[in-house]
Amino acid sequence: MKLPYFLIDAFTDQAFTGNPAAVYVLNAPIPDDLMQKIATEMNLSETAFVLQGQSATTLRWFTPTTEVDLCGHATLASAHALFTAIDLPHSGVITFDSASGALICEQTPDGIRLNFPATPPSPTPPDPIICEQLGVTDPIYFGRSKFDYLIHLSHEEDVLTLAPNFSALAAIATRGFIVTAKAKAAELDFVSRFFAPATGVDEDPVTGSAHCCLGPYWATQLNKPTLHAAQRSQRGGSLTVEVVASRVLLTGHAVLVGRGELLL
Coil vs helix vs strand at 132 = helix
The reply to whether 67 belongs to the active site is: no
CA dist 76 and 20 (Å) reads 11
CA dist 12 and 254 (Å) reads 6
Catalytic residue selected from 41, 46, 156, 242? 46
CA dist 146 and 160 (Å) reads 25
Coil vs helix vs strand at 63 = coil
CB 162 within 8 A of CB 191: no
Q: What is the largest CA-CA distance in the chain?
A: 54
DSSP-assigned letter for residue 85: I
Q: Which residues in 218-237 are b (16+ Cβ under 10 Å) and which e?
A: bbebeeeeebebbbbbebbb
SS3 content of the chain, % helix, strand, coil (to 5): 20, 40, 35
Which residues are tagged catalytic? 46
